[in-house]
Amino acid sequence: MKNVPLYLAGEFVQSQTSDWIDVTNPATNEVIARAPAATDAEMRKAIESAADAFRTWKEVPVSERARVMLRYQALLKEHHDEIAEILSQETGKTFDDAKGDVWRGIEVVEHAANVASLMMGETVGNVARSVDTHSWIQPLGVCAGITPFNFPAMIPLWMFPMAIACGNTFILKPSEQDPLTPMRLTELFEEAGAPKGVLQVVHGGKEQVDVLLTDPVIKAVSFVGSVPVGRYIYETGTRNMKRVQSFAGAKNHMVIMPDADKQQVLNALVGASVGAAGQRCMAISVAVFVGEAQSWIPELKEAMTKVRPGAWNDSGASYGPVISPKARERVESLIATGEAQGANLLLDGRGCTVDGLPDGNWIGPTLFSGVTTEMNIYNEEIFGPVLACMEEANLEDAISLINKSPYGNGVSIFTSSGGAARKFQHEIEVGQVGVNIPIPVPLPFFSFTGWKGSFYGDQHAYGKQAVRFYTETKTVTSRWFSSEATAEAEANFSIQLR
Q: Catalytic: 281?
A: yes
How far, in Å, are 2, 174, 186, 371 from residue 209 at the CA level? 23, 10, 19, 38
Please report the sign of the dihedral spanned by the C-alpha atoms of residue 35, residue 57, residue 442, residue 407.
positive
The secondary structure of the chain in percent helix, strand, coil, rounded to multiples of 5, reads: 40, 25, 35
Which residue is catalytic, options 143, 166, 281, 352?
A: 281
At 144, the amino acid letter reads A
As a whole number of angstroms, the distance between CA 163 and CA 166 comes to 5
Q: Is there a contact between 205 and 21 (Cβ–Cβ < 8 Å)?
A: yes
Q: Which stretches of 341-379 are DSSP H helices?
A: 376-379
What's the burial of 489, exposed, middle or buried (CB within 10 Å: 0-12/13-18/19+)?
Answer: exposed
Closest CA to 56 of 217, 192, 169, 140: 169
Q: Is there a contact between 479 and 131 (Cβ–Cβ < 8 Å)?
A: yes
For the residues of 387-405, what is the DSSP string, one character each?
EEEEEESSHHHHHHHHHTS
**Catalytic residue list:** 281
